[in-house]
């Protein structure tokens, strides 16, 4: 399903990856019902992303709504990776002053990165520089065609975006200068276009067919926006359609519809088809869209790569196609090729995957700092009128403002807050990630799934968000052209267990053997024997209230070295002491600051502001402990980590993660399979297996007794039928399952 690329220096196969982001570049609008044959609007223009009535409404709204006027006329926003993001009005006027010169063939965006993982400095005029390009973090300078070609690619993207903004400015301001300048860009591209892609990196005006798709969509939209302006002659129209738009689309058809590249290929073909009213192109796009919904979108509603970038990357492409189709009588928004597999599911599923602040866990490839894209949900709210989507719009608007073209064209005043949707723990079986949510906004993700298209070697990895803060993170990836990339895709950069100091193997397993529970107690258990052949690794996650217990059990037929790895945001403070370690931790990019030998328990914490994440780790024997630093999202920033090493044919680690206030009294202990977590007069007693003692006694796989001042106030169990505390029967049922019961206080 996923496109293959070249091999690296070690002979390992590299998968082609995408080359742009979520939040920027979204466009437009309106709706009808699905038919069997492609529909095309009759009569006037525009008819792809806007119609004349919507353009008139937009002109009025820009006059009377200050926030919408700012979206059109306001100051540009900036991103260190993607340069400036210009508002349509100022950007259109900027292009009026420029000569339109079409660059030579563009290169690869991800080549424009330093070895440390940070983006290089874009030249302000986006012209190749013989002096080279300095890293935005360390200042190292890079020169040559590889980097010049990446700059040319950005200029192609800027020209296409400029054409779209000029077309929008024509519709808003009715100033013919904007239409004429957009026409100039289109004419010049029609004259300069070297011919279509014949393969994913062969032909075209940009190195990757993926990027060519992203480039041609705004050009096709600009063509539609100015077609009735008088700025294009009949010859211009023929040249643009026959020498630019149609051959580009035909080339993209030849590049296939696999993976997120295919999502962009088919969407670009469809948008071009609607812009030039070509039934063959439209039919291809609609048929391919249905096929991707049926065969490539996961049954859990998520795109099976990484969610924080690659779920929304194909969705971004689909929205362009859906809006063009909607203006021409085709309703892709309500299409479900199979139950739950459609655009609505692609909007809904990420709500239950996101952290409470709507940040997206950066699991697998993609950018670390990514939130639910508010501008996409502006369109979701407009099309579905689902209050959950409106809530996302409001939350993202409060946090980051209203950004992009979707809110400009379809955004509404939001006078009152929508209610927050109820979010629950959920398993995403296709991606192979479980999200466990606790009270107070705590959330842990558990990655047990297979290696998919943009996967990493991170089986059994976890992340943790609590008290409004990200603690244990996955840092995604920097630019794919960076030499530090293997660190981010490898096992050592994740919160999991590494065996013999080596990366995991790619796996195909989805062995989630348990996912059950309720408000105060739930558990997820998964196993793998593929990650390290010959080693069975079982990881159990138990949530008790807002705290989490991670149990790792590893068994091998021969002696192995097992390294339990965990890192967190915040300043580390360790209270563990002991003699020097008997071994060394040697991992590239990891700087060990302290090592020691311990027996029993390791205790430390990470602090952020007035909150702490406390870790109490229990081992079944003596272990070497390494306190170290490692890269965060790039090598320019470091976080503090712990590695705990056991050697032998088996090992067991039990980690208790508890978010608390700084200085809060917390006591954690473990005896056998019973963990006690005490805060003030409240104590949670958690069993990690059947218990025959009186405190408690249970047949359950996992159980919880909550004590207040020493007396039971709540009982819960997973995969059990009975739970006792001393001589008091708390829960009894006919079958082994999940149950929770509140215990009335004694009179």
- The CATH number linked to 120 is 1.50.10.100
Neighbours of 385 (CB within 10 A): 9
Question: How does pLDDT run across 412-446, given as a tens digit for each residue?
Answer: 998 778 899 999 999 999 999 999 999 989 999 99
Confidence of residue 30 (pLDDT cuts 50, 70, 90): very low
Q: How far apart are CA 59 and CA 70, in angstroms?
A: 13
Separation of alpha carbons 572 and 603, rounded Å: 11
Return the pLDDT at 4: 31
CA neighbor of 288 nearest in space, from 315, 262, 326: 262
- Whether residue 522 is found in the same domain as residue 643: yes
What confidence tens digit (pLDDT) does each residue in 591-634 have?
999 999 999 899 999 999 999 999 999 998 899 999 999 999 99
Supply the range of the domain harboring residue 54.
39-251
Distance CA 302, CA 298 (A): 5
Look at the alpha carbons of 290, 242, 30, 349 in this order and tell me if their dihedral is positive or negative. Answer: positive
Q: 79-106: b or e for each residue (b if 16 or more CB lie within 10 Å)?
A: eebbbebbbbbbbbbebeeeebebbeeb
Verify that 502 and 600 share a domain, yes or no: yes
- Reduced to 3 states (helix: H, G, I; strand: E, B; else coil), residue 154 is helix
Same domain, 49 and 172: yes
Q: Are residues 117 and 188 in the same domain?
A: yes
Same domain, 237 and 106: yes
Domain end position, chosen among 251, 286, 314: 251
pLDDT at 267 over 90: yes
Helix (H, G, I), strand (E, B) or coil at 132: coil
**Is there a contact between 477 and 489 (Cβ–Cβ < 8 Å)?**
yes
Is the residue at 449 inside a domain? Answer: no
Same domain for 506 and 600, yes or no, is yes
Q: In 3-state terms, the chain is what percent helix, strand and coil (to 5)? A: 30, 30, 40
Q: Rounded to an integer, what distance in angstroms lies between the CA atom of residue 538 and that of residue 562?
A: 13
Question: What DSSP designation does 579 have?
Answer: S
pLDDT at res. 298 = 92
End-to-end CA distance of the chain: 65
**What average pLDDT does range 12-41 have in this prediction?**
39
Greater model confidence, 37 or 233? 233
Residues 99 and 223 in one domain: yes
- Report yes or no: 712 and 705 within 8 Å, Cβ to Cβ: yes
Is the residue at 197 inside a domain? yes
Q: Three-state secondary structure along 609-663?
A: CCEEEEEEEEEEEEEEEEEEEEECCCCCCEEEEEEEEEEEEEEEEEEEEEEEECC
State yes or no: pLDDT of 24 exceeds 60: no
pLDDT band at 746 (very low <50, low <70, confident <90, very high): low
Is residue 332 within 8 Å of residue 326, measured between CB atoms? yes
Question: What pLDDT does 482 receive?
Answer: 87
Residue 729 neighbours by CB under 8 Å, 6+ apart:
722, 723
Q: Which of 689, 699, 742 is nearest to 721 (CA)?
A: 699
Q: Do 652 and 676 sit in the same domain of this protein?
A: no
**Is residue 644 domain-shared with residue 711, that is, in the same domain?**
no
The strand pairing partners of 539, in sequence order, are 526, 552
**pLDDT band of 41, cuts 50, 70, 90:** confident
Handedness of CA 590, 362, 149, 262 (dihedral sign): positive
Number of domains into which the chain is organized: 3
| Paired tokens of 181 | 């300048």
Residue 185 has pLDDT above 90, yes or no: yes
Of 664, 690, 719, the one marking the end of a domain is 664
d(CA 558, CA 197): 53
- How many other C-beta atoms lie within 10 A of the C-beta of residue 529? 15
| pLDDT tens-digit readout, 353-362 | 999 999 999 9
């993609």: which residue's tokens?
366
Each residue's pLDDT tens digit, 152-173 = 999 999 999 999 999 999 999 9
DSSP state, residue 241: I
**Structural domain includes residue 361:** no
Q: Give the mean model confidence (pLDDT) for residues 341-345.
A: 95
pLDDT of residue 610: 97
Mean per-residue pLDDT of the chain: 91
Sequential DSSP letters for 38-98: -----SSS--SS--HHHHHHHHHHHHH-HHHHHHHHSPPEEETTTEEE--HHHHHHHHHTS
For residue 138, is pLDDT > 70? yes
Phi first, then psi, for residue 387 (nearest 5°) are -60, -30
- Specify the pLDDT at position 22: 36
Query: pLDDT of 497-531, one tens digit each?
Result: 999 999 999 999 999 999 999 999 999 999 999 99
Tell whether 633 and 741 lie within a shared domain.
no
Residues of the chain above pLDDT 70, percent: 93
pLDDT at residue 718 greater than cutoff 80? yes
Q: Which two tokens stand for residue 449?
A: 């799934």
Any domain includes 388: no
Query: Is residue 444 one of the residues assigned to a domain?
Result: no
Phi-psi region of 663 (alpha: psi -120 to 50; beta: other; left: phi over 0): left
In terms of residues, how long is the chain?
747
pLDDT score recorded for residue 534: 97
3-state class (DSSP) for residue 120:
strand
**pLDDT interval class at 81 (50, 70, 90):** low
Q: Please indicate, yes or no, if residue 24 is contained in any of the structural domains.
A: no
702 Cβ contact list (under 8 Å, min separation 6): 521, 523, 540, 542, 686, 687, 688, 689, 717, 718, 719, 720
Helix (H) or strand (E) holding 550, with range, is: strand 547-568
Instruction: Looking at the structure, tell me whether residues 490 and 636 fall in a common domain.
Output: yes
User: Are the beta carbons of 668 and 658 closer than 8 angstroms?
Assistant: yes
For the cut 50, the answer to whether the pLDDT of residue 26 exceeds it is no
Residue 80 pLDDT: 57
- Model confidence, pTM: 0.90
pLDDT at site 15: 29
Could you tell me if 541 and 523 are in contact, meaning their C-beta atoms sit under 8 angstroms apart?
yes
pLDDT reading at 675 higher than 60:
yes
Average pLDDT over residues 549-559: 98
Quick check: 391 and 384 in contact, CB under 8 A?
Answer: no
The answer to whether 500 touches 722, Cβ cutoff 8 Å, is no
The CATH number for 510's domain is 2.70.98.70
Burial of residue 337 (number of CB atoms within 10 Å: 0-12, 13-18, 19+): middle
Does residue 639 form part of some domain? yes
Cα three-residue angle 391-394-397, rounded to 5 degrees: 150
Residue 625 sits in the same domain as residue 704: no
Q: Which of 251, 281, 309 delimits the end of a domain?
A: 251
Select from 617, 624, 566 the least CA-distant residue to 596: 624
**Three-state DSSP state, 382:** helix
Assigned domain for 284 exists = no
Which residue's structure tokens are 């059994």? 460
């Amino acid at each position: 399903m996923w496109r293959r690329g070249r091999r690296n220096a070690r002979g390992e196969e590299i998968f082609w990856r995408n080359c742009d982001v979520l939040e920027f570049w979204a466009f437009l609008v309106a709706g009808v019902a699905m038919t069997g044959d492609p529909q095309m609007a009759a009569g006037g223009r525009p008819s792809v992303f806007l119609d004349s009535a919507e353009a008139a409404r937009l002109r009025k709204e820009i006059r009377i709504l200050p926030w919408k006027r700012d979206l059109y006329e306001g100051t540009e926003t900036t991103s260190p990776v993607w340069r400036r993001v210009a508002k349509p009005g100022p950007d259109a006027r900027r292009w009026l002053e420029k000569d339109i010169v079409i660059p030579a063939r563009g290169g690869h965006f991800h080549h424009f990165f330093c070895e440390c993982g940070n983006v290089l400095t874009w030249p302000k005029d986006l012209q190749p520089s013989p002096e080279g390009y300095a890293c935005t973090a360390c200042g190292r300078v890079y020169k040559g065609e590889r980097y010049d070609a990446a700059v040319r690619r950005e200029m192609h993207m800027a020209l296409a975006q400029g054409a779209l903004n000029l077309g929008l400015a024509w519709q808003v301001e009715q100033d013919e200068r904007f239409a004429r300048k957009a026409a100039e860009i289109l004419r010049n591209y029609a004259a300069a276009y070297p011919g279509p892609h014949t393969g994913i990196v062969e032909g075209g005006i940009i190195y990757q067919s993926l990027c060519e798709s992203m480039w041609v969509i705004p050009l096709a939209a600009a063509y539609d926006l100015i077609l009735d302006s008088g700025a294009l002659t009949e010859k211009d129209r023929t040249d643009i359609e026959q020498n630019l738009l149609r051959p580009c689309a035909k080339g993209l058809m030849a590049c296939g519809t696999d993976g997120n590249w295919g999502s962009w290929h088919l969407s670009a073909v469809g948008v071009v088809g609607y812009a030039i009213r070509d039934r063959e192109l439209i039919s291809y796009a609609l048929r391919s869209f249905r096929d991707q919904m049926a065969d490539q979108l996961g049954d859990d509603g998520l795109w099976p790569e990484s969610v924080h970038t690659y779920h929304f990357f194909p969705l971004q492409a689909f929205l362009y196609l859906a809006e063009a189709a909607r203006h021409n009588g085709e309703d892709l928004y309500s299409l479900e090729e199979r139950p739950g597999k459609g655009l609505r599911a692609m909007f809904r599923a990420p709500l239950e995957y996101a952290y409470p602040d709507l940040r997206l866990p950066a699991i697998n490839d993609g950018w670390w700092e990514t939130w639910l894209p508010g501008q996409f949900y502006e369109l979701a709210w407009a099309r579905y009128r689902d209050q959950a989507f409106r809530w996302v719009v409001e939350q993202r608007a409060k946090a980051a403002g209203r950004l992009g073209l979707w809110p400009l064209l379809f955004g509404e005043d939001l006078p009152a807050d929508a209610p927050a949707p109820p979010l629950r723990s959920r398993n995403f079986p296709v991606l192979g990630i479980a999200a466990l949510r606790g009270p107070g906004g705590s959330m842990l993700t558990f990655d047990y799934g297979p290696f998919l298209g943009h996967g990493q070697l991170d089986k059994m990895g976890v992340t943790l968000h609590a008290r409004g803060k990200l603690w244990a993170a996955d840092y995604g990836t920097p630019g794919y052209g960076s030499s530090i990339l293997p660190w981010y895709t490898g096992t050592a950069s994740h919160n999991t267990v590494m065996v013999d100091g080596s990366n995991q193997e790619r796996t195909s397993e989805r062995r989630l053997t348990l996912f059950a529970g309720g408000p105060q107690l739930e558990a997820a258990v998964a196993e793998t024997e593929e990650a390290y052949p010959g080693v069975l690794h079982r990881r159990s996650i138990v949530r008790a209230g807002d705290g989490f217990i991670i149990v790792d059990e590893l068994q091998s037929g021969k002696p192995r070295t097992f390294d339990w790895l965990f890192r967190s945001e915040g300043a580390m403070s360790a209270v563990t002491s002991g003699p020097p370690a008997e071994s060394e931790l040697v991992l590239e990019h990891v700087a060990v600051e302290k090592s020691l030998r311990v027996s029993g328990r390791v205790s430390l914490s990470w602090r952020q502001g007035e909150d702490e994440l406390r870790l109490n780790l229990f081992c079944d024997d003596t272990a070497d402990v390494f306190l170290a630093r490692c890269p965060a999202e790039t090598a320019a920033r470091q976080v503090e980590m712990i590695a705990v090493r056991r050697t032998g044919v088996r090992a067991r680690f039990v980690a208790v993660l508890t978010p608390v206030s700084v200085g809060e009294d917390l006591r954690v202990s473990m005896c056998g399979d019973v963990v006690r977590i005490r805060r003030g007069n409240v104590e949670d007693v958690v069993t990690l297996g059947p218990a025959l003692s009186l405190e408690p006694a249970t047949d359950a796989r996992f159980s919880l007794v909550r004590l207040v001042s020493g007396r039971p106030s709540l009982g819960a169990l997973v995969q059990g039928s009975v739970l006792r505390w001393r001589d008091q029967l708390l829960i009894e049922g006919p079958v082994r399952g999940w149950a929770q019961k509140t215990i009335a206080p004694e009179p």
